[in-house]
């Protein structure tokens, strides 16, 4: 087997009250994809930050091509040939594609001025190399998430990166876009680059990875060739026990109608969306990418304007012109994009949890920190949030714990209706099970729940009814016990209608 491009030996890292990594060793070899596997909080992100120069290890050694290296900054990591592609792209929307590719190392001509024509030409060559039909002069904000990932890959190639880290790169991609990305991964392998691939989707891991390293609670608990293990074995390594994949559907009595939506419409994204939602009910909303699910619920919550339609809550007409109107009425919305829309990562857990209901914690003329802490502690414990303390900055938590804090924030408003848009996106199997169980608990407590999910087993496992959307409209309804995966997907794609 070829010599490794990069090795970590005895790497340990601690933060106040938290041991993030202990004695981690791994090797990355040319032309191979290594899957980094573990629950949220297992230490994957800490390893990535050490590899990219954001964190310095407390102990241990990093070697690149056999030479000991010390990364004091991301620039040192770049210079060593390490590049990272993240779930949320870290680039500049108002700059061009070419500028993003060559940010930090723009080609210069005479007088040390940027050679714009050379930069655009070289950017075009890099994009062509990965079959990305993206004009170099386009502003980055004009691109889709998948296209932005391609720009990041071109950026890595511009540095001739020997190690490419892909951190949840497929989370927001369609099946065709994932195929395109994996084709490029195979190309990078053929060029002799070492790939670190992080994903919670086992089908992707078994499809693309050659090797695996499994972490649990900051320690390495397994490694080897991916062909030598099965999915149940990996899950057992991750969580230290077998995980029951059956969704914990609770037997909850369904009460009276809480929310009625009639003919909710937007000029371009959805039309004539109508449904009733009852107390204690989990209503699933399923559809393919672009079906209009999120857009319709954003209209219901007042994030985006609607052109027509009516909403009644507990029998009373409700006019929602802003999220503040929805919150005041008792509707809460946990968005799909928790990092940009659901939370403020630079603030602490307490500040995030109480952000949507600060008025409840005012005592006299001042905000009561003790009142905020009491509610944060109650909800944090109920959701089993893992943190050093309730003042810890949210951005320091794992993705699963961030999601729990976002849910806690909306529960703090004491809603009657809670909308959960892709609540388990990008979190590990252990955290998913906890969120699934908690969704059932919300219904058991009498909340009316709308669950949007692209994972068909999830929505079928938890929902009492499923509404299927296609091209901005509700095209079918299925009740529990009278559905099948084939029927639901057929409605979402139009296959049943076409077959008829």
Structure tokens at 323: 């999220």
Torsion 349-350-353-355 (CA) sign:
negative
- Output Rg (C-alpha) for the chain, integer angstroms: 24
Beta carbons of 38 and 238 less than 8 angstroms apart: yes
pTM of the model: 0.59
Q: CA dist 219 to 37, 386, 441, Å?
A: 11, 17, 32
Taking each helix axis from N to C terminus, what angle separates 231-239 and 429-444, rounded to the nearest 10 degrees?
A: 80
* Domain-wise residue ranges, the chain: 6-239, 257-499
For the 257-499 domain, the top CATH level (class) is alpha beta
Instruction: Note the maximum CA span of the chain.
Output: 76
User: What is the structure's pLDDT at 153?
Assistant: 87
Fold match between domain 6-239 and domain 257-499: yes
Q: Give me the CATH code for the 6-239 domain, please.
A: 3.40.50.300
Residues with Cβ within 8 Å of 266's Cβ and at least 6 positions away in sequence, in order, are 295, 296, 299, 304, 305, 306, 307, 472
* Token pair 């790169």 in the structure block, residue: 169
Closest CA to 97 of 169, 157, 147: 147
CA distance linking residue 123 with residue 113, whole number of Å:
18
Distance CA 74, CA 83 (A): 9
Q: What is the pLDDT of residue 297?
A: 94
Q: Is the dihedral of CA 349, 350, 352, 353 positive or negative?
A: positive
Q: How do beta strands 417-421 and 331-334 pair?
A: parallel
Distance CA 230, CA 367 (A): 53
Q: In the sheet that 316-318 helps form, which strands lie side by side, from edge to edge?
A: 273-278, 257-265, 308-313, 316-318
> For residue 496, what pLDDT is reported?
45
Q: What Cα–Cα distance (Å) separates residue 195 from each residue in 36, 62, 148, 212, 379?
A: 10, 17, 18, 11, 39
Alpha carbon of 142 to those of 37, 125, 135, 330: distances in Å? Answer: 33, 20, 11, 36
Q: How far is CA 475 from the centre of its chain?
A: 28
Give, rounded to a whole angstrom, the gap between the first and last alpha carbons of the chain.
Answer: 55
Question: pLDDT 10s digit of each residue in the chain, 500 long?
Answer: 689 999 999 999 998 767 889 999 999 999 999 999 987 678 898 999 999 999 999 999 999 999 999 999 988 998 999 988 876 667 888 999 999 999 888 888 777 788 899 999 999 999 998 888 899 999 998 888 778 888 988 888 888 889 999 988 886 677 788 888 898 899 999 999 999 999 877 888 999 999 999 998 899 999 999 999 988 888 778 767 554 454 667 888 999 999 999 999 998 889 999 999 999 999 999 987 678 999 999 999 999 999 999 999 999 999 999 999 999 999 999 888 767 777 888 999 999 999 888 888 999 889 999 999 999 999 888 888 888 899 999 988 877 788 889 888 988 888 999 999 988 876 777 777 778 888 888 899 899 999 998 778 888 889 999 999 988 999 999 999 888 888 888 888 775 444 33
Give the pLDDT of residue 87: 66
Angle between helices 145-158 and 116-129 (to 10 degrees): 110
pLDDT for 498 equals: 40
* H or E, element range at 258: strand 257-265
Can you tell me the distance from the alpha carbon of 483 to that of 455, in angstroms, rounded to the nearest whole number?
Answer: 15
Dist CA 27 CA 210 (whole Å) = 13
């Amino acid at each position: 087997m070829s010599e490794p491009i990069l090795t970590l030996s005895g790497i340990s890292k601690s933060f106040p009250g938290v041991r993030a990594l202990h004695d981690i060793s791994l090797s990355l070899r040319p032309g191979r994809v290594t899957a980094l596997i573990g629950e949220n909080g297992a230490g994957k992100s800490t390893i990535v930050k050490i590899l990219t120069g954001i964190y310095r290890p407390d102990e241990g050694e990093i070697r690149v091509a056999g030479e000991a290296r010390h990364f004091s900054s991301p620039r040192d990591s770049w210079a060593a040939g390490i590049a990272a592609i993240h779930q949320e792209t870290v680039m500049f929307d108002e700059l061009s594609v070419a500028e993003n590719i060559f940010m930090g190392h723009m080609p210069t001509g005479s007088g040390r001025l940027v050679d714009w024509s050379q930069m655009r030409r070289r950017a075009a060559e890099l994009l062509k190399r990965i079959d990305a039909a993206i004009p170099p002069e386009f502003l980055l904000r004009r691109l889709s998430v998948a296209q932005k990932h391609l720009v990041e890959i071109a950026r890595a190639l511009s540095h001739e990166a020997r190690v490419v880290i892909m951190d949840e790169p497929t989370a927001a991609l369609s099946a065709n876009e994932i195929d395109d990305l994996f084709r490029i991964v195979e190309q990078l392998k053929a060029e002799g680059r070492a790939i670190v691939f992080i994903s919670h989707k086992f089908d992707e891991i078994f499809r693309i990875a050659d090797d695996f390293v499994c972490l649990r609670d900051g320690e390495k608990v397994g490694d080897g060739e991916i062909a030598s293990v099965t999915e149940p074995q990996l899950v057992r390594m991750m969580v230290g026990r077998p995980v029951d994949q059956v969704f914990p559907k609770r037997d909850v009595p369904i009460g009276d109608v809480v929310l009625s939506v009639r003919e909710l419409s937007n000029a371009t994204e959805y039309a004539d969306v109508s449904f009733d939602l009852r107390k204690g009910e989990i209503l699933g909303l399923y559809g393919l990418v672009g079906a209009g699910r999120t857009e319709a619920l954003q209209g219901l919550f007042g994030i985006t304007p609607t052109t027509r339609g009516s909403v009644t809550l507990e029998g009373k007409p409700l006019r929602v012109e802003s999220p503040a109107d929805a919150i005041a009425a008792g509707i809460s919305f946990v968005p799909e994009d928790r990092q940009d829309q659901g939370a403020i990562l630079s603030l602490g857990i307490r500040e995030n949890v109480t952000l949507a209901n600060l008025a409840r914690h005012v005592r006299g003329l001042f905000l009561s920190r003790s009142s905020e802490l009491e509610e944060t502690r109650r909800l944090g414990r109920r959701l089993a949030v893992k943190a050093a303390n309730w003042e810890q900055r949210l951005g320091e938590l794992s993705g699963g714990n961030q999601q729990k804090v976002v849910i806690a924030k909306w529960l703090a408003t004491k809603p009657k209706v809670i909308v959960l848009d892709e609540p388990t996106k990008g979190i590990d199997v252990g955290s998913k099970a906890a969120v699934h169980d908690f969704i059932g608990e919300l219904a058991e407590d009498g909340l009316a729940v709308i669950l949007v999910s692209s994972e068909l087993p999830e929505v079928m496992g938890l929902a009492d009814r499923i509404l299927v959307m296609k091209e901005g409209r509700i095209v079918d309804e299925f009740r529990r016990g009278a559905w099948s995966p084939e029927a639901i997907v057929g409605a979402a794609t139009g296959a049943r209608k076409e077959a008829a």
